[in-house]
Structure 1
Amino acid sequence: MSKLKKGEKPINIHKHLSNKVSLSTIKRWNKSIKLHGSIKFAKQGRPLSVRNSHFVKKVKKEITKVGSQRKVAQKLQISQPSVHRILKQNLQLKPYKMRVEPHLTFKQIEQRQKFVNWVRNHLSKNDTLKILFSDEKQFDIDGVYNSQNDRIWALNREQADSNGGLKQKRKFPQRVMVWMGFCSRGLTPLVIIENGTINTKVYIENILPVARDYGNEQFGDDWIFQQDGASCHTSHDSQNWCQENLPGFIPKDIWPANSPDLNPLDYSIWNQMVQEMNWNAIKSKQTLIKQLYIARNKIQAHQILDISNKWYSRVRNLQINNYKYIQ
């Protein structure tokens, strides 16, 4: 601008700028300065017809009601891509999937509050590193899949199905019940019940001795056993066995019901195992069991220690979250 106002020719300015600005642009600027006294930049493209303040306000209001871009587009009679651009670019919003979590009754929330108080009054963070958590989970040979994330890119549905986009589920798949323990030192051996379920007799004879031996091996006589509220755990015989054979355990009236967010196996370890398993190799109960052992061995020590170190803070965060379910 200063050179043009001084009367220098556009061709000289073009050379002075080492050809960084085109000659035609400098000429256009020169014309703008003569007409308006400044460089006016013309807006590129056609004017916005939908993404104006009027529709932005309407989209913001409607999306909170219905939560669907398609329904908002239908109601406002504008295209769905326009709604998408308003949400992403104008409103800076991001889509989040609806999460499913257990419904907690008022009594269960009170139990969770009682548990937090018990932990804070009886256990330090170092004490929580000596807790042996336990849980059972059922696995079947059909495996698991995520209908939202497991996508097959193809030209049509038939091609997608032939490329692995069809998931078949058996009516009565072969399955096993798996028990495992978790602590800061590692994972217990798997206890696999191939037939039937885990009742009090099976629990006392086949599972509790494994927990006792592993806990004693890792911590000596200074550790705490955790179990949830399953009937075989809370039975009179099981509670007596724990009282007589373990250095410490969380009684049935302390551990809160319906709280998978407090057991590392529930909110982390089982899912990691599922992800590590090669479901394509599972054709029978024997191959399922083989993959369970492989997946268990793939979980690394530093992951286990990291989860254990964060558990105490997780419990304390329950109070901040009003003892509701935490992710």
Structure 2
Amino acid sequence: MKSKVQTAVKNKYENGDGPAKIYRDLAGVVSLQTIKLWIEMIKNTGSINLSSPSGCPRTVRTKPNISKVKWRLAKKKRVSTRELSANTNISRRSIQRILREDLGCFPYKKIKQPKLTDLQKAKRIKFVNWVLNNYTKEDTEKWLFTDEKYFDLDGVYNVQNDQVWAVSRAEADKKGGVHQKSKFPAKVMVWLSVCGKGLTMPVILEDETMNAERYIQDVLPIALKCGNNMLGTNWAYQQDGARPHTHSLSQKWCDDHFPAFIPKTRWPPNSPDLCPLDYSLWNELAQAMNWDHITTKAALVDEIKRSIKEVEKEKVLRSVRDFAVRLRSIQKNGGNYIR
């Protein structure tokens, strides 16, 4: 029986993928040279036919052992290769090969997302239906989507992706293999908004605090000015359910000054997947920042202001247009969270 890896190679090749792309997609499960040999077989015979298994006969990756691993994986989905190795008396390396090459499995990190109650899902569906019944896709590009986020001097660090290749731990450390983290790093709160015309200027609060009074005094006038300059007189202001936003005085200010706004009775709770800043643009901003140059709070503020101008306009527009797509997805999935 052909392995799942061979089947994957054949399918990818027939879909137009080249050897290098297939190799990358399979994360090095088999060598590039092997993939090229298999593709030659497909060209000549239409399939991958191995007359005999390469190398020595299998003594560990046998059908019974593969079935054993598959059964344990189905019984307990959250299990490490180390635990599988201990429970099956198979080496960890062989377990990894069984998972990848024989079962076609790949490791995925758990992703954090808000836990939605049935009531919150119902409110999300109600909001989606309201938007789709009252606004076109072009209308939502005239919404000013807003959010706040903390930025600190320690920057953005991903333990899975920020890797340094070196011959030793000491050399890796010299090449920047240590991420130092302060116990109480200096930080600032950034308010930012976006629409189909682009990102606005930010409001940066260096003392980190926000209440309704400050929101009305320091943020909302900037939002009004940016919205009018970018969108004219026909646009709507969006904000989430943070306390300074839902305060009665904040709601009244919005009602009195904005051409239109999404009141607290409309915007669904626990829904960062509906704000372009949350699901896309905060990350784009963080990636555009040069964290090596940020050593003081003043430098952090300057870098935030500079990097907002560096975020690609195409990515900004795509993220805003994706809002309408997400509405449809939520309508189809019963109000569940989407990534």
C-alpha distance in structure 1 between counterparts of 2:116 and 2:54, whole Å: 55
Residue 316 of structure 1 is matched in structure 2 by 328
**Partner SS state of residue 194, structure 2:** strand
User: Structure 2 length as normaliser, TM-score?
Assistant: 0.81
211-220 or 157-166: bigger deviation: 157-166
C-alpha distance in structure 1 between counterparts of 2:108 and 2:307, whole Å: 30
Q: How does 1:231-250 map to 2 (within 5 A)?
A: 231-250=243-262
C-alpha distance in structure 2 between counterparts of 1:184 and 1:165, whole Å: 40
Match of 2:164 among 128, 152, 157: 152
Residue 46 of structure 1 is matched in structure 2 by 56
**Partner SS state of residue 93, structure 2:** helix
Residue identity opposite 2:73 in structure 1: I
Residue 100 of structure 1 is matched in structure 2 by 112
Cα-to-partner distance string for 1:181-238 (whole Å, 9 max, x where unaligned):
1101011111111124111111111111111111112222211100001111011111
Unaligned 5+ runs, structure 2:
1-50
Residue 268 of structure 2 is matched in structure 1 by 256
Question: Does 1:208 pair with 2:251?
Answer: no
Q: How does 1:102-251 map to 2 (within 5 A)?
A: 102-251=114-263
List, as ranges, runs of 4+ consecutive aligned residues in structure 1 with deviation greater than 6 Å. Answer: none
**Partner SS state of residue 165, structure 1:** coil
> Quick check: 1:63–1:69 contact (8 Å CA) kept in 2?
no
C-alpha distance in structure 1 between counterparts of 2:226 and 2:312, whole Å: 18
**Partner SS state of residue 164, structure 1:** coil
**Partner SS state of residue 263, structure 2:** coil
Residue 91 of structure 1 is matched in structure 2 by 103
Match of 1:275 among 274, 277, 287: 287
> Quick check: 1:229–1:257 contact (8 Å CA) kept in 2?
yes
How many residue pairs get aligned? The number is: 287
Residue 56 of structure 1 is matched in structure 2 by 66
**Partner SS state of residue 309, structure 2:** helix
Question: Does 1:307 pair with 2:319?
Answer: yes
C-alpha distance in structure 2 between counterparts of 1:61 and 1:138, whole Å: 45
Identity of aligned residues (%): 45
**Partner SS state of residue 138, structure 1:** strand
Q: 1:164 to 1:121 in 2, by over 3 A?
A: same
Q: 1:197 to 1:47 in 2, by over 3 A?
A: same
C-alpha distance in structure 2 between counterparts of 1:315 and 1:273, whole Å: 24
**Partner SS state of residue 252, structure 1:** coil
> Quick check: 2:290–2:303 contact (8 Å CA) kept in 1?
yes
User: Structure 1 length as normaliser, TM-score?
Assistant: 0.84
Q: CA deviation at 1:162?
A: 3.3
RMSD between superposed Cα atoms in Å? 1.5
232-241 or 165-174: bigger deviation: 165-174
> Quick check: 1:56–1:86 contact (8 Å CA) kept in 2?
yes
Residue 17 of structure 1 is matched in structure 2 by none
Residue 71 of structure 1 is matched in structure 2 by 83
